[in-house]
Structure formats: structure tokens, C-alpha cells
Amino acid sequence: MKIAIVTETFLPSTDGIVTRLCESVRWLKAQGHQILIIAPDLGVSEYNGIPVKGIPAHRLFFYRTKKFALPHPLVKKYLESFQPDIVHVVNPALLGLAGIFFAKRLGLSLIASYHTNVARYMDYYHLSLFKPLIWRYFRAMHNQAEINLCTSQTVREELEERKFRNVRLWKRGVDLQRFRPEMKSAAMRSRLTDGHPDKTLLLYVGRLAAEKEIEKVREILEASPGLWLALVGDGPYRKELEAYFSHSNVTFTGFLHDQTLAEAYASSDLFVFPSTTETLGLVILEAMASGLPVVAADSGPSREQIENGKSGVLYDPKRPGDFLQKVLSIVNDAEYLETMKITARQESIHLGWNKASEQLLEFYKQVVDRVPLHTNKRKII
């Protein structure tokens, strides 16, 4: 099968979308499928032998730390040249609009996947007035696709309530060879604690943005001077967070990748995740695979991943002090913490990426078999 993927984000950017996409295309290529990736031009021209066609990227006023590609006629040129059996538009917003438009115009089979709740982000940037318009825009794009994928049952239910059509759940996965307890490193722990490895180490991995509500961790650090927080990642809110945590036990590492990221997970004591805007939160599963228990805000996607009280703990974001109480209840009970570490790893070991990638291929086949191609009437086997 020839698969064209049009994505709003790709390497060298690092987030859950890029991780899922890289794992999927690597597996698909190993099965003998031909793949083309169309993405913002960030200097990457190939990945694992797969060509990456760049679209001119620019910094936009609302998110200065990242480059975005706008709709561009090059998308049509690349699709016409590649002649794919199916086009998969990943998280359509800007570039994805061109992917959808030209796929439909060229009569190509189309699938889309939803990964970011942009409408909910509006609440954190004083733009709530635009939420109905945002939902209309994304619904109009996604409803051009034969199948729409999402990464949690909670999100699936919300999309269906908002009249998104043909929504399917795309299984979650994690790299169990990379993220494992054996990656623990004394040198990494010293780095994350700025030379204070005896402190109890809390870890956050992800984008540093207002909607992640990372500020909530400060009250925990203030209540217990024996704690240290490592923030792994970068984003538009970093300067504000550096100022906010300037007198706290906090280390900002910037982005970490591959082995160093795996070492960061395995060398920490507890993963903290206060965000309530996630469509999945892949970092939760990476933490669990590393033997790292999670304290997360109680939300639908978090509930789908964490067995409350066993592999982690969910706190009520509407109850003042509940986050603090839940974290301290774990870190102050060494036996409980160790038991949770074992359970967290055990609950992740059946969630390798192969099953999610196999499922994705089945979705592709369903669409291609159902929709006649403009150049090829045969079914894909």
C-alpha cells in the first residue's frame, strides 16, 4: 500500500503525536508499505528511510516557540507525484487543511486523526468566545474523511456529541524496550535534581504551556522541602514558569530525547501531570512503563490509563489542596511508593506499539476497500 501522511508536526519536534507517528510509520515500512510524509520544513528530509517532504514553515504570533506550515500548493504536487492509495491527515489544523482539500480534489481515499483539543485551550488564552467557531472549523475538516481516529474513549464520545462522523478509537502504545525501570541512572538523577539526588524527585514531561497548569506543583514543593521537581520539555510558557518557580527546587532541562528521556523517567520517583486538556497524555504511559507511578488530574483520558490507587492516583482538580494531599500520601509512604512502581510497569507491558500500528493498517484497508480510487479500482490486500 502507498500511504501519504500529512502532519502538522514532525521531527525534530517532540510530542505524543510525533512519537505515535514515528512508531506507526516505522512498523508500516517494516511490513513492506511505501510511505511519504508531508510536514512543516524543519530540516528533516527523511526518517528511517522514509522521505519527508517539507512545506515552508513560519513562526506565528500566537505560538512563537514553534514553526507552523500554512496550506500550500506543494501538498498537491507531492500527492500527485506519489499517487498514494490513501492519505492520512494527522491532527489537521493549518497544513492539514491543504491535505484534506487536495486529497478530496484528487479523489484519494482519506482518513484523519484528532489529537489536540484546541477548543479547550481557548479557555487558557482568554479566547473562550471563539470556541464554537473552532469546533465548527475542525468538524468541517474531519467530516471530509471516511474515518476519523482519536486516542481515547472520552474524546471519542465528545467528538460524536459534536457531530464528528465515523469516529474510531486508535489504541495507545508505548516503546517497552526504551522505557523501562532498568534505564535508571545516578548521573541523570543528579542532573535532574541539580546535584541533590537525595531529594524525592517529581517529574513532568511535556510542553510548557499555560493549559498544562504546571504552576499547581509549586504548593507541593513549598509544603515539603524534601521534594525536587524536574520539568522536561519546552514551550511558550517557559519564561513565565522560570520566574514563577525561581525560588523553588526546580530544574528546567529543555527537551530530552531517546535514551536520555528514558533515563529521566526511570531515575525519578513520581510523575506529576496536572493537565486536564489532554486527548490521551502519552507521557503517562511512558512513565508507567518506566516503573514511575503517576499523580494526575482526574479526567477521562487519565482514568483510561491509571488504575486509581494502584498504578497511580487521580486527584480532583476542583478540590483545593487535593493535589498536594495525594502527592504527599505517596512520597511519605515508601512501601506504598515501591508497590505502585511495580504495578505501573506491570499495567503497561501489554501495550507495545505493534498492536496500535496493526490496527491503523486495518483502518487504512477499510477505507481503501470502501472508496474507489481515481486511478485504481482494485482492493488492497
Mean pLDDT of 2-21: 95
Helix (H) or strand (E) holding 111: strand 109-114
Map 18-80 to HEC letters. HHHHHHHHHHHHHCCCEEEEEEECCCCCEECCEEEEEECEEEECCEEEEEEECCCCHHHHHHH
With a CB cutoff of 8 Å and minimum separation 6, the contacts of 62 are 125
Across the range 72-76, mean pLDDT stands at 98
CA dist., res. 238 & res. 65, Å (int): 10
Residues 165 and 28 in one domain: yes
Q: Please state, in angstroms and rounded to a whole number, the distance separating the CA atoms of residues 133 and 127.
A: 11
Query: Is 378 part of any domain?
Result: no
In this prediction the pTM is 0.91
CB within 8 Å of 10: residues ≥ 6 apart: 18, 21, 37, 39, 40, 42, 44, 47, 52
Give CA 115 to chain center in angstroms: 7
Q: How many CB atoms lie within 10 A of CB 127?
A: 14
**pLDDT mean across residues, the chain:** 94
User: Is residue 356 domain-shared with residue 331, that is, in the same domain?
Assistant: no
Q: Are 52 and 10 in contact (CB under 8 A)?
A: yes
Residue pLDDT, tens place only, 16-27 = 999 999 999 999
In a shared domain, residues 365 and 331: no
Tell whether 195 and 230 lie within a shared domain.
Answer: yes
59 burial via Cβ count (<10 Å: 0-12, 13-18, 19+): exposed
In a shared domain, residues 54 and 84: yes
381: in domain: no
Query: What would the mean pLDDT of 176-202 be, rounded to a whole number?
Result: 98
Question: Is 22 found in the same domain as 58?
Answer: yes
Q: What is the mean pLDDT of residues 201-217?
A: 96
Tell me, what's the pLDDT at 62? 66
Decide if pLDDT at 127 tops 90.
no
pLDDT at site 279: 82
Residues 142 and 166 in one domain: yes
CATH of the domain at 157: 3.40.50.2000
Q: Which amino acid is at 175?
A: D
The span from the CA of 118 to the CA of 137, in Å, is 11
Residue 97 lies in a domain: yes
Same domain, 162 and 36: yes
Q: For residue 102, is it within any domain?
A: yes
Cell digits for 29? Answer: 515500512
Does 376 reside within a domain?
no
The number of distinct structural domains making up the chain is 2
Residue 375: inside a domain, yes or no? no
Which value, in Å, is the radius of gyration of the alpha carbons in the chain? 21
d(C-alpha 181, C-alpha 184), whole Å: 6
Residue 294 inside a domain? The answer is yes
Q: What number of other Cβ atoms are within 10 A of residue 259's Cβ?
A: 12
The answer to the question of residue 164 being in a domain is yes
Q: How many helices (H) and strands (E) does the chain have?
A: 15, 16
Residue 308 DSSP symbol: B
Per residue in 317-350, pLDDT (tens digit) is 999 999 999 999 999 999 999 999 999 999 999 9
Q: What is the pLDDT of residue 377?
A: 41
Q: For residue 171, what pLDDT band results from cuts at 50, 70 and 90?
A: very high
Residue 150 is placed in which grid cell?
482519536
Report pLDDT for 65. 72
Do 152 and 299 belong together in one domain? no
Same-domain pairing of 111 and 11: yes
Range of the domain at 98: 2-173+352-370
pLDDT (average), residues 353-370: 96
Examine the domain organization and report whether 199 and 275 are in the same domain.
Answer: yes
What distance in Å separates the CA atoms of residue 305 and residue 288, rounded to the nearest whole number? 9
Residue 174's alpha-carbon distances to 205, 214, 337, in angstroms, are: 15, 24, 22
Greater model confidence, 293 or 277: 293
Looking at the chain, the whole-number percentage of residues with pLDDT higher than 90 is: 90
Before 301, cis peptide (omega within 30)? Answer: no
- 44-48, 214-218, 370-374: the lowest-pLDDT one: 370-374
Shared domain for 256 and 366, answered yes or no, is: no
Res 38 pLDDT > 70 = yes
Q: Look at residue 373 and tell me whether its pLDDT is greater than 50.
A: no
